[in-house]
């Protein structure tokens, strides 16, 4: 644990693999920039690996002022122990007030370990982060400029705001696609600071023999148009209609959890709280009720069209256009009309 430091920077852990930074890190750099501006402090990032390559320029262009770089041949691939040691050493040295991580497999492994070692708090899977003064209801003490860590709780039925009065740094993980990705500003300048962190060989107990990387079969995050089917589609066979409409309109195929659980399509297509978060230009939801856990992953879409037999379905509360009807009748008509226009 470090003492609350009001001048501390706002940090992002800049995870990278094979010299590539995932989008979530760049999204968090933009958020860190905004939070740091509000607090009147600098935005920082920690980059560890065997070779920094051109990553510093990318991070600085996305809003980072101070980039702390740890380079070591043994850091070529992520390993929990040395990375935990690096982040903890740098936190102890520079005392940031906030540290943000992507809620990726790597971030979900690293962040809780850092939290445990630092005896700090950590909120997983935040959907929003804000700065605000907070009164401790027990002591009535006002804590200025705390990080509000906002996330769905109790199965998404409530939105919880979590604050951390004194177990600093304030830390959170955020899923990819939740924060908007800001345009890079190539004219920005920042400082790259090489950090010598002692890493004993005992911190590398795992020897990597071979790596297999599963190719991504579906890119929902990058899709401009998504056609998603839900439990109301009724069967794997009827789900072909969703594929057909997606094909006709040039979109990707998404699904609710009911459709995935029903075996209509694979889990990698699931959108929502425990699936992917998307913000396409157009989202068509067919046979999806619009449960809060599904809406959490799609309600930021620019335009939403819902097709549902139930006029009271919650999906209509976030839809810009609604069609009350049986998707098995509506979709063939839409496909026919799209084909005729072509
Ligand atoms: P249903 O609830 O079965 O709704 C089907 C809808 O289709 C109804 O509105 C019905 O009126 C309509 N319909 C029926 N027949 C037709 C027809 N022929 N034509 C048109 N409309 C029709 N869910 C997600 O989607 N994503 C998540 O990431 C997710 N994470 C979760 C995490 C937790 C911790 C929990 C507790 C739940 C999560 N869920 C998630 C599940 C969520 O609560 C809902 O159960 C799920 O979204 C329901 O899917 P659905 O609306 O497609 O199916």
Token pair 């850091």 is found at 75
- pLDDT tier for residue 158 given thresholds of 50, 70 and 90: confident
Nearest residue to 265 (alpha-carbon basis) of 296, 226, 215, 314: 226
pLDDT tens for each residue of 28-37: 999 999 999 9
Choosing from 203, 236, 268, the residue where a domain stops is 203
Which atom in ligand 1 lies closest to the alpha carbon of residue 256?
A: 25
**Predicted local distance difference test score (pLDDT) of residue 216:** 64
CA of 288 to the centre of ligand 1 (A): 5
**Is residue 1 situated within a structural domain?**
no
CA of 305 to the centre of ligand 1 (A): 16
Residue 185 and residue 93 in one domain: yes
Sheet order of strands, 128-135 included: 128-135, 142-153, 158-162
Residue 67's domain is classified under what CATH number?
A: 3.40.50.620
CA of 155 to the centre of ligand 1 (A): 13
**Is residue 35 situated within a structural domain?**
yes
pLDDT tens for each residue of 297-341: 999 999 999 999 999 999 999 999 999 999 999 999 999 998 887
The rounded mean pLDDT for the chain is 93
Residue 238 and residue 192 in one domain: no
H/E element holding 331?
helix 327-341
Domain extent for 185:
10-203
Residue 81, Cα to own-chain centre: how many angstroms?
A: 23
CA of 273 to the centre of ligand 1 (A): 12
- 161 annotated binding-site participant: no
**Backbone phi and psi for residue 107, each to the nearest 5 degrees, phi listed first:** -65, -35
Q: How far is CA 208 from CA 74, 77, 202, in A?
A: 11, 8, 15
pTM: 0.73
Residue 86 and residue 150 in one domain: yes
**Is residue 214 situated within a structural domain?**
no
Q: Across residues 242-246, what is the average pLDDT?
A: 94
Q: How far is CA 243 from CA 176, 237, 240, 254, 333, in A?
A: 25, 11, 5, 9, 14
Which atom in ligand 1 lies closest to the alpha carbon of residue 307?
A: 20
| Residue 151, both tokens | 């996330």
Residue 291's domain is classified under what CATH number?
A: 3.40.50.1220
- 293 annotated binding-site participant: yes
Q: Across residues 128-142, what is the average pLDDT?
A: 93
pLDDT above 70 covers a percentage of the chain that reads 98
Residue 135 and residue 175 in one domain: yes
- 243 annotated binding-site participant: no
- pLDDT tier for residue 342 given thresholds of 50, 70 and 90: low
Q: Of residues 298 and 153, which shows the higher confidence score?
A: 298
Q: Across residues 197-202, what is the average pLDDT?
A: 93
Cβ burial, residue 40 (10 Å; 0-12/13-18/19+): exposed
Residue nearest to atom 44 of ligand 1 (CA): 291
**Predicted local distance difference test score (pLDDT) of residue 243:** 93
**Is residue 94 situated within a structural domain?**
yes
Residue 190 and residue 301 in one domain: no
Residue 166 and residue 256 in one domain: no
CA of 95 to the centre of ligand 1 (A): 44
Residue 150 and residue 256 in one domain: no
Q: Is the pLDDT of residue 219 over 90?
A: no
Residue 258 and residue 292 in one domain: yes
**Is residue 236 situated within a structural domain?**
yes
- Our CA angle for 216, 217, 221, nearest 5°, is 70
Residue 179 and residue 293 in one domain: no
- 38 annotated binding-site participant: no
Residue 245 and residue 336 in one domain: yes
Q: Of residues 138 and 100, which shows the higher confidence score?
A: 100
**Is residue 189 situated within a structural domain?**
yes
- 272 annotated binding-site participant: yes
The ipTM value here is 0.99
**Is residue 209 situated within a structural domain?**
no
Residue 102 and residue 195 in one domain: yes
Q: Domains in the chain: how many in total?
A: 2
Q: Ligand 1: which residues within 6 Å by Cβ?
A: 155-156, 230-232, 256-259, 270, 272-275, 287-289, 291, 293-294, 297, 307-310, 313, 326-328
**Strand extents, DSSP E, the chain:** 10-13, 43-49, 66-71, 98-102, 123-126, 128-135, 142-153, 158-162, 170-174, 191-194, 225-229, 252-255, 282-286, 303-308, 321-324
**Is residue 220 situated within a structural domain?**
no
Which residues, listed in sequence order, are joined to residue 242 by a DSSP beta bridge? Answer: none
**Predicted local distance difference test score (pLDDT) of residue 156:** 63
Choosing from 203, 238, 268, the residue where a domain stops is 203
pLDDT tens for each residue of 68-101: 999 999 999 999 999 999 999 999 999 999 999 9
pLDDT tens for each residue of 45-56: 999 999 998 999
Whether 305 contacts 286, CB under 8 Å: no
Residue 67 and residue 183 in one domain: yes
Q: Which of 51-55, 110-114, 203-207 has the highest mean pLDDT?
A: 110-114
Q: Is the pLDDT of residue 222 over 90?
A: no
């Amino acid at each position: 644990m470090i003492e609350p430091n009001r001048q501390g920077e706002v940090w992002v852990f800049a995870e990278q693999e094979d010299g590539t930074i995932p989008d979530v890190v760049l999204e968090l750099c933009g958020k860190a920039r905004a939070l740091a501006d509000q607090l009147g402090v600098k935005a920082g990032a920690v980059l560890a690996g065997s070779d920094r390559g051109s990553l510093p320029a990318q991070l600085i262009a996305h809003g980072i002022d101070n980039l702390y770089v740890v380079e070591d041949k043994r850091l070529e691939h992520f390993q929990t122990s040395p990375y935990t040691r690096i982040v903890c050493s740098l936190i102890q040295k520079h005392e940031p007030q906030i540290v943000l991580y992507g809620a990726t497999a790597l971030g979900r492994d690293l962040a809780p370990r850092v939290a445990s070692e630092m005896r700090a708090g950590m909120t997983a899977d935040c959907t929003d982060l804000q700065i605000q003064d907070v009164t401790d209801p027990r002591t009535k003490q006002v804590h200025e400029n705390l990080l509000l860590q906002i996330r769905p709780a109790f199965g998404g039925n409530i939105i919880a705001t979590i604050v951390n009065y004194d177990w600093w740094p304030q830390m959170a993980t955020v899923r990819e696609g939740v924060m908007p990705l800001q345009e890079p500003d190539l004219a920005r300048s920042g400082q790259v600071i090489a950090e010598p962190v002692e890493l004993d060989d005992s911190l590398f107990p795992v020897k990597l023999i071979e790596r297999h990387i599963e190719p991504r079969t579906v890119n929902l995050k990058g899709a401009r148009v998504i056609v998603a089917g839900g439990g109301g589609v009724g069967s794997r066979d009827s789900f072909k209609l969703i594929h057909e409409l997606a094909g006709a309109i040039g979109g990707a195929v998404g699904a609710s959890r009911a459709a995935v659980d029903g075996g209509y399509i694979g889990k990698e297509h699931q959108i929502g709280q425990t699936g992917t978060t998307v913000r396409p230009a157009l989202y068509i939801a067919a046979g999806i009720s619009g449960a809060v856990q599904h809406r959490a992953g799609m309600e930021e879409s620019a335009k939403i069209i819902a097709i549902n037999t139930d006029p009271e379905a919650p999906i209509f509360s976030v839809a810009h256009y609604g069609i009350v009807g049986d998707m098995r009748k509506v979709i063939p008509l839409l496909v026919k009309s799209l084909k005729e226009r072509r």
